[in-house]
Structure 1
């Protein structure tokens, strides 16, 4: 699943759509069939409402909150937010034709096409269709964003992180499960949780209430450092992540524990399921 760095990179690359108008919207047969059977496949509202809220709207700017990407749309006094979540295998592409999507699976599994005023198209492709698109009037209407922790580079984020981790509701949980909660820290999924815990020397199985404030500060710093390293490496490409131009990231080549057998210090990596996700860690380097 794309995490914060990957979504941030997509946002930056999609700056090319800013200023363009969505002239028409086309949805795939899979989306249509899903909605006809009562499922909100990919588009989390009736398709006709989604089209009404996006067609003939100018993309005035883009933003990101945690793992959510959003487009601010405007036509005169009318303003809408188009919010996207990439799920497990979603990707946006800005190109001239579907044929320009190099990877067959993404080309085959396009779900929504936004045809733009310069004759290009913004394509949302999703192999597994776990991603989400929706329109809202204000970000404050969307509870996952309202409840989210400050962004990792916000000056209030470190203190919020420590306070949230040490909240009584989290004290008995594994620290790894806690830092994957977007109300604690934004955008840390399975990969970067494993990597940052290793860098901070904290066992992912340790109860959150047993991690000292000093070590929590070190852990937050490690999360920030891992995010920034990933941004510099173009994100992680494990299987399904692609940039908006179809490119792959290099962060996977810098992993220290995730999907590794030996840590950088030569110790065996242990694997355990925590919060439903395979967790990779070193019992000698982490405590």
Structure 2
């Protein structure tokens, strides 16, 4: 049994690869740039790009299970290639926004393609990634030891990417996960202010949090470029997640709806990692 991991160098994918390798299972890690990839010994590294389906077809030999990174533009074709190659089980990285009815045009089409395939399927639907703080705040913390935020006391449920991966690995290897869509959260409600404090403690240095306007927060993310700029309007509230209308809830109702879910522990048998642990593991990334 060979397991193909697409998006193998991503925040979650790299943990899927490592955890499968640690469990002693043959892993084929697909990446667009194998020469730059770093994986555990014994992992088969192959070149492939979800936007180039023929390159995926070339690495599907002897694969019967697959971890699928979401790429809606080619999902139907890639999933079809997987089925024809003999893949029997697909675990999809999706988003909690799908279950909330807020995503109709990104992760949802990938989920639908997988469900139509006839394969056994499981969807991973995490909410707020702890790793997003690295992409959003990393540049300013490294440069100035500061974070600019327009809603520093708004609380979320950041989840460690290794916990998302652990649920995915359980679904790839175990039984009883077919037809399940797992909503995943971290174990505690934390504000941006509290997350910055955890990063500062991990660094052993002060990190200031400066409250700014919504407009200023967006401008700073746009100037940063990359993923932060691509998502600046959504992150700062100038755009909704998808064309679907957001529910009409008060700030208090939204806050009350942010409740830690037991899914990680139910599936893996152990409590999810805390944000403080995530910050300690990534402290060097913020230096």
Query: TM-score, normalised to structure 2's length?
Result: 0.22
Larger Rg: 1
Query: TM-score, normalised to structure 1's length?
Result: 0.22
The answer to which structure has the higher strand fraction is 1
The answer to which structure has the higher helix fraction is 2
